[in-house]
A and B are shown apart, each in its own frame.
Chain A
Amino acid sequence: MKRILAMLLALVMVFALVACSGGNNSGGNNSGGSGGGSTTKGEEGSIPGVQKTLTIGIASDINELDPQQQNDQINNNCIALTHQPLVFLTNDTNEQVACLAESWEWTDDTHLIFHLVQNATFNDGSPFTADDVVFTFEKAMDPDQSAVAATLQLVESVNKIDEYTVEFVTKSYSNELLAVLAGYPLVILSKAAYESGMDKPYTVGTGRYKFVEWKEGQYVKFERNENFWGDDPGQADEIIFKPILEAASRVAALQSGDIDVCIDPPINMLEDLQKDENITVETRDGTRLFYMGFNCEKEPFTNQTLRQAVACAIDRDMIIEVVLKGLGKAQTTVVNRGVWSFYDEMEGFDYDVDRAKQLLSEAGYSEGELAVTLYVSNAAPYTTIAPIIKQNVEAIGITVNIEQFDEATLKDKCQSGEQQMFLWRWNVIDRLDEIYTELFSTDYATNYHQYSDPYVDEMAVKVLTEKDKETRLQLSQDLQTYLVEACPQVPLYVADLVIAYNKNLQDTYLFGGGNHNWSWAYVSLN
C-alpha cells in the first residue's frame, strides 16, 4: 500500500513539475527566464516609475498571430503591438494618419501612390523599404497565402517605384481603400524574415514590441522593442495577454492584482468594481451594433410592411435596460454610431404597439395567424435578448419560436438562408462599405438578410466612389433613410465599451469596438 501511494505521489509530482515548468512552448523564442506569463505586480521595469509588466486579461483565446491568416479582434490587439500599417486609424476622429507611409495621393482614379518613411526598421533590426510593402500585399492578395485576400479585390497590383515609394494600381477609385489598408490583417511584414527561413516570420514587424512567447491557452508575451524607430516607444518592459474566459474570474484577477486590465467585465459586477478604489471603470461610446435581421427572401418576411410591423413591436429601451443596465444606445439607422455620415433623424419604427398592430393588418395578416422562427446564438447577450423580442412580438399576435445554435452553425444557417428572423451584431469603426456592401448588397456572403435591391446596390457603389464629400454625405444619408424604410433589419442598440483597469494605468488607446492598441499603455508606480 505504501509503495502504491509513494508511486502515486511521485507520479503526480512529476506531472505537476512538467505541467508547471513551461514545457509546451507553442511558438517563438523562449523567454529564457523564470516566470513565463506570471505578473510582476509593483515591480519596476527599466524605465523608472513604470511597472515592468502590463498584464491584460482577455475574454477569449488568441488563436492566430499571423496577421493575414486572421481578422479576430483579440489577435489584432496582439498584432498591433508588433506591427504597423501604412496608415493608422485614430480612435477619436476615425481618420487615417501617417504611419509607415508619411504621405499619399491618388494620381488618377486607379493609381494611389504612397511615400514611405525612410528611417523605419523592423524589430529584428533590418530596414523597412518598399520591397516589404510589395511583398506584404502580393502575399495578402494571394488567396492561397492569405485569408483576407477578398478585402483587396479592388487592388490589381502593388508596384515599387523606388526604395521608398510604392504604387497601388486599382480597378477603380474607392473612398474606403485607405481604411482597408489601416486594418491589422494588412500590417507590413518583413520580406527578409520570410526569406531567412526563420520560424514564424510573421511575428517580425516594425512595432513598439517584439513577440516573445505564446503558450496556448495561457498567455502571449511581448517585450519592448528597444530599437523602435519612432520617437514614442513603448513604456512597459513586457506586455502579456492572458485569456481568462470566465468573466467573474477575470474580475477577481483584476481585484487581486494578477492582471492590470479586465476586458469585458460583466455588467452585473460593475457596481462592485466602481466601489474598488484601486480600479477605474471606463465607459465610452461603442461601435458594435446589435440587430434583429429578417430573411427578406423567405416568407413571410418578403412582405416589407410585415417587417415594419415587427420593428414597431420591439421595445429597444427595455432590451438595453435588461441586457446592458442602460449602458448602450438605441438607434434607428443601420449605420453604426460613430461612423462618418451616421444619420439617425429619420422617423423609423419606434416602439408603438398600436402602430405595429395596424401595420400587421396592412400587411394582410390578422392577429394569431402567423408563427415565425427566430434563430439566435446560444451565447450572451442573444439568449437574453431573444425572450424579450418573443414577448414583444407575441404582443401583436405573432407567435415566435426561438431556436438556438452555436455561432458557427448560426452563421452557416444564415448564409444558407434557412432563417426567418435572426439576431446578430456588426462591428464597424469607419468603413461604410462594410455596411452597405457587406450587409445589404445582392449576393454578398455576409448579407444574411438575403436582401437584394438594385437601388441599394447602385447607391452602395456611389457612396464608395463619390469624391465630393458633401454629395457623398447626402448619398449616404439618403441610403440610410431608404434602408430604414425597407427594414431588412431592426437595429436594437450599440453597446457602450466598458473596460476596467488598474487605476494607475496610463496612456491607453481604446477603440469603441474593441480593437485597442496597447502599445503606449503602462502602469505608473508614482
Chain B
Amino acid sequence: MIRYVLKRLLFMIPTILLTSLIIFFAMKIAGGDPVKQILPENATVEQQENLREEMGLNDPLVVQYARYMAGLITGDMGESYVTGKDVLQTFMERLPMTLALGGSALIVACIISVPLGIYTALNQNTWKDTTGMVFALFGVSMPNFWLGLMLMLLFAVKWKLLPSQGAEGPEYLVLPALTVGLGLAALITRTTRSAMLDVIRQDYMTTAKAKGASHRRVIYYHGLKNAMIPIVTAIGMQFSLVMTGSALAEVVFSWPGIGRLVFESIDKRDEPMVTGAIILCCILMSIINLVVDLIYAFLDPRIKAQYSNKG
C-alpha cells in the first residue's frame, strides 16, 4: 500500500512538469512586458533595461523556465507583480478559504444528493423519481453565478437573513456554500441513483431481505456500502473541481479564495501569480485524486488487495 502511494506521488511529477511547462510558455506567448508592468509608465529606458536584466528576462525562455522550476523545488515561485508578495505565501493564505468553501459545499451537496439519489432509485419510474431528476437537471443546467445572485437577492436583500458579501464569520459561508453545493448535488444525485439501481437488483440484497434484515439495514448497510465506489468517485471528482473551480462563486460573494485570486491575477496579467497558482492547483488536484483513490481501498477490500498485490 505504501509503495502504491509512493508510486502515485512519483506519477505526480510528470503531471506537474507538463502543466508548468504549458502554463509557463502560454503566459510568455501571451505577450506583454513585465518590466513595464512593474515600473511606472514614465520610467527611463535605462531603468527598464536594468530591471529586465535583474529579472533575467533577457535570457532564453528555456533558461528562464529552468530557473523557475529550480525555484519551484525550493518553494520559491517568485513575487506578484501587483502586490510584490510571495506567490506561495499568497496562495497558502487563500487556500483555507477555498478549502472551507469547497468542503462546506461538498457537505451541502452530500446531504442533499445521497438521500435524494437513494430515494429516487427506490421509487424508480414514479413521479417522485421524475421530480428528483428534474431537480438534478436544474442543478446541472443552472449557471453558478446566476444561482448565487438569486440566493443573494432572496436571503440578503429581500429577507435580510444572511450577509451578502465577505468572509468574516461562519454565517458568511452559507450562501456561497449553497451556491456551489447545489450545483454539485445534481451530479452526485444522478450517480447515487444509478449506482443504487444497479445494487438493489443484486442477489445479495434479496438474500439480506430473506434473512429478515430490516428495510433500512438492507438499503443503507448492504446496498449503499456497495454502491459507494461510483458515488465516492463522483464526489472526489466534484471536490477537486470545486477546489480549483469555484472562482465564479468566489467573485460573486467576494469570498477571498484561490478562484478569486486567479481571476484577479489574470485580469491584471500578474504572470507569476497566475503561473504559480495554476501549478499549485494542479498539485492540489493530484493530491485530492490520490486521496479519493485511497478511500476506495477503505470502502472495498478487493481494491485494497489489488493495491497490495501490485505493491
Contacts and interface: CB of A to CB of B under 8 A. Distances in A.
Contacts, number: 169
B236 to A, nearest CB: 11
A249 B32 contact: no
A216 B257 CA distance: 11
Nearest to A24: B93
B267 to A, nearest CB: 7
B82 interface: yes
A245 B40 contact: no
A20 B103 CA distance: 13
Interface stretch (B134-142, B148-156, B184-192, B206-214): B148-156
B41 A245 contact: no
B165 A20 contact: no
B164 A15 contact: no
A138 interface: no
Interface stretch (A299-307, A311-319, A410-418, A486-494): A410-418
Interface centre among A22, A150, A438 (most CB of B within 10 A): A150
A35 interface: yes
Contacts of B225: 1
Nearest to B96: A19
Contacts of B42: 150, 438, 444-446
A370 interface: no
Q: What's the dominant secondary structure at chain B's contact region?
A: helix
A136 to B, nearest CB: 18
A217 B164 contact: no
B169 A20 contact: yes
A17 B268 CA distance: 31
Given A63-B83, A249-B254, A256-B156, A38 B269 contact: no
B33 interface: yes
B298 A36 contact: no
A257 interface: yes
4 closest Cβ contacts across the A-B interface?
A: A12-B103, A217-B256, A19-B100, A409-B32
Contacts of A4: 295, 298
Contact of A249 (B94, B152, B268): B152
Contact of A253 (B31, B165, B256): B165
A11 B103 contact: yes
A161 interface: no
B82 A249 contact: no
Interface centre among A4, A9, A63, A64 (most CB of B within 10 A): A63
A1 B166 CA distance: 34
Given A4-B298, A256-B157, A63 B96 contact: no
Contacts of A518: none
A245 B265 CA distance: 13
Interface in A41-60: 57
Contacts of A16: 100, 103-104, 170, 173
B254 A409 contact: no
B264 A245 contact: yes
Interface in B89-134: 90, 93-94, 96-97, 99-101, 103-104, 106-107
B107 A9 contact: yes
A253 B164 contact: yes
Contacts of A256: 152, 156-157, 160, 163-164
Nearest to A415: B36
A321 interface: no
B181 to A, nearest CB: 12
B62 interface: no
Interface centre among B103, B152, B165 (most CB of A within 10 A): B165
A259 B165 contact: yes
Interface in A245-264: 245-246, 248-249, 252-253, 255-259
12 contacts: A12-B103, A15-B96, A37-B166, A217-B254, A217-B260, A243-B254, A256-B156, A258-B163, A406-B32, A409-B30, A409-B32, A415-B36
Given A8-B103, A216-B90, A406-B266, 7 more contacts: A216-B93, A218-B256, A249-B253, A256-B156, A256-B163, A406-B267, A413-B31
B252 A249 contact: yes
B298 A242 contact: no
Contact of A244 (B149, B165, B267, B269): B165
A256 B153 CA distance: 8
A148 interface: yes
B276 to A, nearest CB: 16
Interface in B14-47: 30-33, 36-37, 39-43, 47
B160 A20 contact: no
Contacts of B256: 215-218
A1 B168 contact: no
B197 interface: no
Interface string A55-99: 001000101100000010000000000000000000000000000
Interface string B286-305: 00000000010011000000
Nearest to B232: A4
Interface in A192-247: 215-219, 242-246
A513 B182 CA distance: 41
A218 B93 CA distance: 12
Contacts of B267: 379, 406
B167 interface: yes
Given A16-B170, A19-B167, A147 B156 contact: no
Nearest to B260: A217
A143 interface: yes
Interface string B69-83: 000000000000011
A257 B42 CA distance: 42
Contacts of A150: 40, 42-43
A252 B153 contact: yes
A322 interface: no
A371 B137 CA distance: 48
B141 to A, nearest CB: 20
B254 A216 contact: no
B65 interface: no
B307 interface: no
B234 interface: no
B167 A218 contact: yes
Given A215-B256, A219-B166, A147 B40 contact: yes
A405 B93 CA distance: 30
Interface string A21-44: 011101000000001111000000
Contact of B41 (A17, A63, A409, A411): A411
B137 to A, nearest CB: 25
Contacts of B166: 37-38, 218-219, 242, 258
B168 A252 contact: no
A15 B100 contact: yes
A278 B298 CA distance: 57
Contacts of B96: 15, 18-19, 23
B103 A408 contact: no
Given A245-B251, A246-B251, A258-B156, A37 B168 contact: yes
B172 interface: yes
B311 to A, nearest CB: 24
A438 B42 CA distance: 9
B107 A249 contact: no
B89 to A, nearest CB: 10
